[in-house]
Amino acid sequence: MKHVIALDVGGTGMKAALLAQDGSVLFEARRPTGREHGTDAVVAAILDFAADLADEGRTRHGCAPLAAGVAVPGTIDEKNGIAVFSANLGWRDLPLRKLLGERLGGLPVALGHDVRSGGLAEGRIGAGRGVDRFLFIALGTGIAGAIGIGGRIEAGAHGYGGEIGHVVVRPGGPLCGCGAHGCLETLASASAVSRAWATATGDPDADAAACAVAVENGDGRAAEIWQNAVDALADGIVLAQSLLDPSTVIVGGGLAEAGDTLFTPLRKAVSERLTFQMPPEVVPAMLRDTAASLGAGLLAWDLLSMEVTA
């Protein structure tokens, strides 16, 4: 069966798949990045993993993969296939597309950004399936996003499109890692809620998941912290709604694991803020931690269809 290699390189682990054209997963595997051994070792681990996946495809399906898609964190130059910078993995201006193409015997390779790849998969084969315009928001350590238009992700002119985590929703608010004050991610990321709940309880290990449980158990302090995060997130979503008018907002990441504890008050807070805008559907992401890998595979298939039509 025709297939492509799909590979998501995270801070600590890599997730890979062999993907058929309809997005179905033919094979899955995971490996550590080995970043404790340095950047060169990480790059070697990526190339080895890709080569092993190509062998796996040949053995299982009797033919070589047609292309490879790789999603990486940090700043990406998608057009030139360069992984520009990753604080986590330590590289600068790494020509990853070229290196992978060479290692895989000249196979076409697509290089994508992890969050945008995840958004692409959620929009095309996950929670936004069949939706033409969507916004994907990942609530994790920080907050990242991806703008889906016409089945593709809009990366912007400089590769920073969709950075909803750095929309200022509380001017003069907490200092953000980006240098601004009151960015959405300082208020509504899983880390922000964890910090607030740890301070409130005096327990440094108290996290956002524990805060959600406390909300469900009727704890007043937890409810206040939770509502502050929900309000900030609703402000960010309404700003995006005014600007982009998506039909669906897909919310994933650690905080979204709280399910209805998040989505019920979030939908209410969004609808209370809308004036003329049409309300988006606010839905949980479906693909969890496989989204970026699946999206990388979709990028590889897109590359092949572009070559056919070119």
Instruction: Give the x-and-dash track for 24-53 against Zn ion (CB under 5 A).
Output: ------------------------------
Only one of the segments 11-19, 94-102, 117-125, 169-177 lies at the binding site for Zn ion (rule: CB under 5 A); that segment is 169-177
Residue 15 vs 166, nearer CB to Zn ion? 166
Using rule CB under 5 A, residue 169 touches Zn ion: no
> Between residues 141 and 201, which has the closer beta carbon with respect to Zn ion?
141
Check: CB of residue 172 under 8 Å from CB of residue 182. yes
> In terms of CB distance, is 13 or 182 closer to Zn ion?
182
Distance between CA 143 and CA 252 in Å, rounded? 10
Q: Based on CB atoms, which residue is closest to Zn ion, 194 or 248?
A: 194
Tell me the closest approach of the beta carbon of residue 166 to Zn ion, in angstroms: 4
State the minimum distance, in angstroms, from the CB of residue 232 to Zn ion.
Answer: 13
Shortest approach of Zn ion to residue 109 CB, angstroms?
32
Nearest distance from C-beta of residue 183 to Zn ion, angstroms: 3
DSSP of the chain: ---EEEEEE-SSEEEEEEE-TTS-EEEEEEEE--GGG-HHHHHHHHHHHHHHHHHHHHHHHSS--S-EEEEESSEEETTTTEEEE-TTT--EEE-HHHHHHHHTTS--EEEEEHHHHHHHHHHHHSTTTT-SEEEEEEESSSEEEEEEETTEEE--SSS-TT-GGGSBSSTT-SBPTTS-BSBTHHHHSHHHHHHHHHHHHT-TT--HHHHHHHHHTT-HHHHHHHHHHHHHHHHHHHHHHHHH--SEEEEESGGGGGTHHHHHHHHHHHHHH-SSSPPPEEEE-SSGGGHHHHHHHHHHHHHHHHHHH-
Alpha-carbon distance of 160 to 174, in angstroms, equals 22
178 binds Zn ion (CB under 5 A): yes
Near Zn ion by CB under 5 A: residue from 9, 18, 89, 176:
176
Binding mask 125-154 for Zn ion (x = CB under 5 A): ------------------------------
Size (the chain), residues: 310
- Using the contact rule CB under 5 A, the part of the chain among 181-189, 210-218, 232-240, 246-254 near Zn ion is 181-189
Using CB under 5 A, pick the residue from 9, 100, 144, 183 that binds Zn ion.
Answer: 183
For Zn ion, the closer of residues 164 and 183 by Cβ is: 183
> Does the protein bind Zn ion through residue 166 (CB under 5 A)?
yes
Question: Cβ 180 to Zn ion, closest distance in Å?
Answer: 5
Stretch that binds Zn ion, among 129-137, 182-190, 268-276, 297-305 (CB under 5 A): 182-190
Interface contacts to Zn ion, rule CB under 5 A: 166, 176, 178, 180, 183
